[in-house]
Structure 1
Amino acid sequence: MQDPNDWRYDGVYGVAAAGLITGYDNGLFGVDDSLSTAQLITILWRYAEPEASSNTDPSAVLNKTYLIDVEDFQYYTAAVNWAFENGVVHGMQTPQGYILDPNSPVSTERAMTILANYLTKDEPAMSAQEVDGFLLKCTDGSSVSEWARPSMAWALKTRMISGYDTASGREIRPWENIARGRFAVILNNGMETGALPPNNPGIIPD
Structure 2
Amino acid sequence: MLAAVLYRMSGSPAITNPPAFTDTVEEAWYMDAVSWAAKNSVISGYGGGTFGVNDPTTREQAVTILWRYAGSPANSETTDFADAGTISAWAQSAVRWADANGILDGMVINQRFNPKASVKRSEVASMLYQYLIEQK
With the shorter chain as reference, the TM-score category is 0.7 to 0.9
Deviation at 1:103, TM superposition (A): 1.5
Higher Cα Rg, which structure:
1
**Aligned pairs (5 A) from 1:14-163:** 39-50=1-12, 52=13, 64-93=18-47, 97-121=48-72, 123=73, 125-126=74-75, 130=76, 133-134=78-79, 137-162=80-105, 163=107
Deviation at 1:157, TM superposition (A): 1.2
Q: Calculate percent identity across the aligned residue pairs.
A: 24
TM-score (norm 2): 0.87
Segments of structure 2 that go 5 or more residues without pairing to the other structure are: none
Q: Secondary structure of 2:119's partner? A: coil
- The 3 A distance-change label for structure 1 pair 183 and 172 is same
Deviation at 1:185, TM superposition (A): 1.1
Which structure is higher in strand share? 1
Segments of structure 1 that go 5 or more residues without pairing to the other structure are: 1-38, 54-60, 198-206
Alignment RMSD (CA, Å): 2.1
TM-score (norm 1): 0.60
Letter in 2 for 1:185: S
Contact 1:69 1:100 in 2 (8 A): yes
> 2:104, 2:91 → 1: CA distance?
14
Choose between structure 1 and 2 for higher RCO, CA contacts under 8 A separated by at least 6 residues.
1
159, 183, 189: which one aligns with 2:130: 189
> 1:110, 1:63 → 2: CA distance?
26
